[in-house]
C-alpha cells in the first residue's frame, strides 16, 4: 500500500511524508497538502465532476469516523476503491486526536465563518487552515460539491445516527440530498434555520457545497467502536467515490425531519440547565417544562408541541449554545 494511504498513521505520529505525491497502479494521484490533509485525484478520463470533502476528528476523541476515513483511504491506496470523484480527506484537530481529547483549548467546530479571526491559539489557526484547504479544494467551477463532516456524540441518543443540514438565506434544502442521507443510514435530519459557525456551515454558506454534519453514535477510544455501525454509510461513501450510486425512491419514508425551534444560549456562570446529566439527544420535553435559567431572571420554558432537546451541555463557554430545542418539520417545504 502507498505510504500516503496511511494518513492517519502519519497524523498520529506527527510526521511529514518524504514523498508528497504518489500514484496508484490504477493512476489515482494522492497528494499530501499538510498535516491531516490529503487530496485524491482520479485519472482524468474517469473524473465525473464530483468534488467530495470528507472530514473527521474536528473533535479529537470521535474516533469511529476517523477509522472509517482511514479504511476508505487504505482501499484507495491499495487500488480496491477506484475513485471517479476528487476527494479531500481532512483530519480536523491532529493535536487533540493524538491526545484522545475533544479539544485542547477551544472547540474547533465553533471557530468557523470568521470566528477563528476573533480568537488565538493553535486551534483557531487550525480552523483557518481547514477553511483554506476547503476553499482551495472547492475552487474549481462547474463541479458538484459535497461535504460530509463526520462526528460521534458525547452522550447517548434516542436517534443514534442523524445529520444537521446548514442554513443559508434564499437557498432551499435539497430533497435529493436527504434521500442520499437516508440511504447512508441517517435516521433523522435537523434542518437548521439560521447561520452558524461550524465547519459545514462554512462550506455550505461560503463555498456553495451541499454540506452535512453527521452524528454517528457515541464517542469511544480508538479500537473500541464495534458498537458504532457505519456499514450503510461506508457503502454509500464508496458508491459516491466510485460514481455508482444506485437510483433511490424520491420519498422520505423512514427519515424523520426536525427544525430548530430555539437555541439555548449560556450567557453567564449563573446559567442552570434543568435536565438530567445523562439525558439523551432527542429526548422529548413536555409543554411548560422549565428548561433553563440564567441572569436577570431569564428563563427558557418549553412552549412548543413535540419539542425535543439535542446537544445539551451546560459546560460550554459563556455566549455559546448550551442546547437546541427542536420540533418536527414539514417535508413539503423542501426543494
What are the pLDDT digits (tens) for 197-250?
A: 999 999 999 999 999 999 998 888 888 888 788 999 999 999 999 999 998 887
Tell me, yes or no, if 303 is annotated catalytic: no
Q: What percent of the chain has pLDDT over 70?
A: 99
Which range among 1-5, 16-20, 87-91, 165-169 shows the weakest confidence by mean pLDDT?
A: 1-5
Average pLDDT over residues 266-289: 95
Separation of alpha carbons 67 and 106, rounded Å: 23
Contact 273, 314 (CB under 8 A): yes
Q: Give strand ranges (E) for 114-252.
A: 144-153, 162-165, 188-191, 210-218
3-state DSSP assignment of residue 269: coil
Q: What percent of the chain has pLDDT over 90?
A: 85
Contact 196, 221 (CB under 8 A): no
pLDDT of residue 101: 95
What does the block give as the cell for 37?
490533509
pLDDT of residue 18: 93
Nearest to 96 by CA among 70, 121, 132, 133: 121
* CATH class of domain segment(s) 3-242: alpha beta
DSSP 235-260: HHHHHHHHT-PPP--S--TT-EEEEE
Checking if the pLDDT of 263 tops 70, the result is yes
Q: What is the mean pLDDT of the chain?
A: 94
Q: Which of 210, 215, 247, 305 is catalytic?
A: 215
Give 50's contacts (C-beta < 8 A, 6+ positions apart).
84, 85, 86, 143, 144, 146, 240, 243
Average pLDDT over residues 30-37: 98
Residue with cell 445523562: 278
Query: How long is the chain?
Result: 335
Contact 85, 50 (CB under 8 A): yes
Kindly report the pTM of this predicted structure.
Answer: 0.94
Per DSSP, what are the bridge partners of residue 211?
147
Separation of alpha carbons 96 and 156, rounded Å: 22
Checking if the pLDDT of 255 tops 70, the result is yes
Instruction: Break the chain into its structural domains and give their ranges.
Output: 3-242, 261-333
Write out the H or E segment, with its range, that includes residue 208.
none
Interval 113-170: pLDDT, tens: 988 988 899 999 999 999 999 999 999 999 999 999 999 988 889 999 999 999 999 9
What does the block give as the cell for 274?
434543568
Checking if the pLDDT of 335 tops 70, the result is no
Average pLDDT over residues 165-191: 95
253 burial (CB, 10 Å; 0-12 / 13-18 / 19+) is exposed
pLDDT band for position 278 (cuts 50, 70, 90): very high
**Fold of the domain built from segment(s) 261-333:** OB fold (Dihydrolipoamide Acetyltransferase, E2P) (2.40.50)
Checking if the pLDDT of 276 tops 60, the result is yes
Amino acid at each position: 500500500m502507498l505510504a500516503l494511504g496511511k494518513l492517519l498513521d502519519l497524523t498520529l505520529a506527527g510526521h511529514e511524508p518524504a514523498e508528497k505525491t504518489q500514484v496508484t497502479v490504477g493512476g489515482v494521484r494522492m497528494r499530501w497538502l499538510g498535516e491531516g490533509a490529503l487530496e485524491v485525484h482520479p485519472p482524468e478520463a474517469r473524473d465525473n465532476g464530483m468534488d467530495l470533502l470528507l472530514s473527521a476528528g474536528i473533535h479529537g476523541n470521535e474516533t469511529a469516523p476517523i477509522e472509517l476515513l482511514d479504511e476508505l483511504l487504505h482501499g484507495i491506496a491499495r487500488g480496491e476503491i477506484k475513485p471517479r470523484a476528487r476527494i479531500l480527506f481532512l483530519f480536523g484537530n491532529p493535536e487533540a486526536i493524538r491526545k484522545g481529547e475533544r479539544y485542547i483549548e477551544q472547540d474547533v467546530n465553533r471557530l468557523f465563518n470568521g470566528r477563528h479571526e476573533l480568537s488565538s491559539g493553535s486551534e483557531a489557526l487550525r480552523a483557518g487552515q481547514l477553511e483554506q484547504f476547503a476553499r482551495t479544494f472547492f475552487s474549481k467551477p462547474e463541479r458538484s460539491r459535497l461535504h460530509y463532516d463526520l462526528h460521534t456524540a458525547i452522550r447517548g441518543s434516542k436517534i443514534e445516527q442523524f445529520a444537521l443540514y446548514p442554513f443559508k438565506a434564499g437557498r432551499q434544502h435539497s430533497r435529493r440530498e436527504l434521500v442520499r442521507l437516508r440511504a447512508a443510514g441517517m435516521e433523522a435530519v435537523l434542518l437548521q434555520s439560521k447561520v452558524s459557525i461550524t465547519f459545514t456551515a462554512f462550506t455550505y454558506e461560503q463555498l456553495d457545497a451541499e454540506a452535512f454534519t453527521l452524528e454517528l453514535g457515541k464517542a469511544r477510544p480508538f479500537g473500541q467502536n464495534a458498537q458504532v455501525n457505519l456499514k450503510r454509510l461506508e457503502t454509500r461513501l464508496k458508491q459516491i467515490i466510485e460514481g455508482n450510486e444506485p437510483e433511490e425512491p424520491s420519498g422520505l419514508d423512514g427519515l424523520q425531519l426536525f427544525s430548530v425551534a430555539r437555541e439555548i444560549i449560556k450567557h453567564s456562570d449563573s446559567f442552570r440547565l434543568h435536565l438530567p446529566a445523562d439525558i439523551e439527544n432527542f429526548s422529548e420535553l413536555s409543554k411548560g417544562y422549565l428548561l433553563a435559567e440564567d441572569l436577570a431572571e431569564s428563563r427558557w420554558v418549553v412552549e412548543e408541541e413535540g419539542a425535543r432537546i439535542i446537544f445539551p451541555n451546560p459546560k460550554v463557554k459563556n455566549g455559546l449554545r448550551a442546547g437546541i430545542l427542536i420540533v418536527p418539520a414539514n417535508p413539503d417545504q423542501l426543494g
